[in-house]
Chain A
Amino acid sequence: MNYYAIKAIYLHEMDRLWRTLFQSILSPVVSTSLYFIVFGSVIGGMVPQVDGVSYGSFIVPGLLMLTLLTQSLSNSSFGIYMPKFSGSIYEILAAPISSFEIVIGFVGASATKSLIVGSIILITATFFAEVRIDHPFVMVFLLVLTCLTFSLFGFLIGILSENFEQLQVIPLIVVTPLVFLGGSLYSIEMLPEFWQQVSYFNPVVYLINGMRWAFYGVSDINIWTSVFTMLGFLLICIVSTIFILTKGYRIKS
């Protein structure tokens, strides 16, 4: 293992975070705060308790997941796309590093950043709603799992994208709808029967409900089903990454 290389990539990526600290952290904090103000306070005032907690508290796990997911995706997709775009990726390709080591460096840094932002969001949330965490270990486990999985997914998007449009299109047209329809702002039991059934095909539903269980011990879905669905998705990402990197697809001719 080329540990120095992993460390170099990891720190190099983290450096980008410190350089852009303000926007990296400020923008998710602002947007999450807006969600709490608009949904939590305004709508929450009209909605009775959901699953035994106030609406404001109910949306905390969902919003946290939403942030983790979008942050992880954008961190790692930009992280690998930028050197491709500037051409500086040549030095990673010419260095004595395996694909596996490259992935650990990039995905590790992206996941770390998302965890930092996630923690700040969680702290922010406590200013707007009462937050309770019934299963802290499960919560941390799910946080880490989500950050890793979606950082890996973002890495794939970054590798496969040939231009900025493609880089942004997947998060925009695939992920955003899935997240909104993933029950971050409502319980899927509130949906009509048909849409409830459709929701079970949305992986984000499992994610958000898993997190909600970790917070309040309530969920539309069994916690194990959630965990295994997420592990399954992680596995798919890992296999695709290995496949693409061993083929050198869109990086090496």
Chain B
Amino acid sequence: MLETLISIKNLSKTYNNSFEALKSVNLEINKGEIFALLGPNGAGKTTMISIICGLVRPTSGEVKVNGSDIVSEYKITRSQIGYVPQELTLEQFETVFQNVSYTRGLYGKSSNPKHIEKILKDLSLWDKKSMRLGQLSGGMKRRVLIAKALSHEPSVLFLDEPTAGVDVELRQDMWRIVEKLRQSGVTIILTTHYIEEAEAIADRVGVIDNGEMIVVDETSKLISRMGQKKLTIQLQEKVMQLPESLAKYNLELASDGFSLAYSYDKESKQTGITNLLQQVKDSGMKLSDLKTEQGTLEDIFVSLVHKEKK
């Protein structure tokens, strides 16, 4: 049985009494899962995380972490939360070790150099422990931020775009770290713009756009449920313009004029393929090949967000 760790009810946020960044969001995060929050720039991902972590005040609604309210019982909720911000916000002059230990203190834990050492080693930062923060590269700073967030042994970790501007190797490192943390029982909520990232590591995804939670589902289910399939029709002869009769199929004509792409919902009873092929034939085009592909999370994301805009 899944146990709810974070429950968000009708959460809204209006900035400066005018801009509505979150519109009555409802969401439940389960204990021990990896949850990915997807959404275009300005969708409200950071706002939502910031509210739960105590950086932004909610305008209305309620959030509970492990049964405690984030506003009235903030000391209880915050001590369980680790937070890695989107921006690389670090002071310049402190050393890595000092700075990570400092965060542990802020969270009300007695100093524990052994634990800090372990975290720094896990994040391949141990050899940098005496370096000043200002001298680190961007990727190292990102790791320091993660080390800080883990310094007080939280049970929930929020990662706001942990892999933004990070090279491929570090990104895979990051995934490994996240997976390891989950195995140790930490619940992880991360935001990302890389859909393949959500596909690769998240148990569930939530898509947020314009301050609204459009869809929340298990990653694999979402892909199969929402999954559009794509039919690609290769032509023998170049086509400059699609005939009128094919307009209703929303076909995409490749720029070289030699292929047509048709998206359809494989769950629906009528995929429209038979009619399409008939009409293609009737319009005099000659086929050379056919290919179908399963849509990716990226396609789903684009189609969802696109629908919203309309």
Residues on A facing B (Cβ under 8 Å):
2-5, 7-9, 11-12, 15-16, 19, 82-83, 86-88, 90-98, 248, 252-253
Contact = CB atoms under 8 A, between A and B. Distances in A.
B108 interface: yes
Contacts of B108: 2-5, 95-97
A253 B109 CA distance: 28
B148 interface: yes
A86 B99 CA distance: 14
B184 interface: no
Contact of B98 (A15, A94, A95): A15
Nearest to B107: A95
Given A252-B56, A253-B16, A253-B57, A95 B106 contact: yes
A92 B148 CA distance: 12
B109 A4 contact: yes
Contacts of B57: 248, 252-253
A250 B232 CA distance: 55
Contact of A8 (B16, B75, B106): B106
Given A12-B94, A93-B54, 14 more contacts: A4-B105, A4-B106, A5-B106, A5-B108, A9-B106, A90-B55, A90-B89, A91-B83, A92-B106, A93-B55, A95-B106, A95-B107, A96-B107, A96-B108
B188 interface: no
B63 interface: no
Nearest to A248: B57
Given A2-B75, A8-B106, A253 B94 contact: no
Interface in B88-123: 89-94, 98, 102-110
B81 interface: yes
A87 B87 contact: yes
B92 A86 contact: yes
B131 to A, nearest CB: 15
B79 interface: yes
Contacts of B78: 94-96
Contacts of A4: 105-110
Contacts of A95: 78, 103, 106-108
Of B16, B78, B89, B104, most A-chain CB atoms within 10 Å: B89
Nearest to B73: A96
Contact of B54 (A2, A5, A94, A253): A94
Contact of A88 (B54, B81, B90): B90
A167 B78 CA distance: 31
B153 to A, nearest CB: 13
Interface in B4-20: 15-16
A91 B54 contact: no
B297 interface: no
Interface string B66-84: 0000000011111101010
Contacts of B105: 4-5, 7-9, 11-12
B91 A82 contact: yes
A3 B87 CA distance: 29
B90 A86 contact: yes
Size bin of chain B's contact surface: 20 to 34
B40 interface: no
B295 interface: no
A5 B107 CA distance: 6
A121 B65 CA distance: 52
Given A90-B85, A94-B83, A95-B78, A83 B91 contact: yes
Given A19-B93, A82-B91, A91 B98 contact: no
Contacts of B75: 2, 96, 98
Contacts of A87: 85, 87, 89
Contacts of B54: 93-94
Contacts of B55: 90, 93-94, 252
Contacts of B76: 96
Nearest to B81: A94
List the 9 shortest-distance A-B pairs measured between CB atoms, nearest first.
A8-B105, A87-B89, A95-B106, A96-B78, A96-B75, A96-B79, A2-B108, A94-B53, A4-B108
6 contacts: A9-B105, A94-B81, A95-B78, A96-B74, A97-B108, A252-B55
A2 B16 CA distance: 32
A130 B11 CA distance: 68
B231 to A, nearest CB: 48
A98 B72 CA distance: 12
A12 B103 CA distance: 10
Nearest to A16: B93
A3 B98 CA distance: 18
A15 B83 CA distance: 24
Nearest to A9: B106
Contacts of B103: 91, 95
Contacts of A19: 93
Nearest to A2: B108
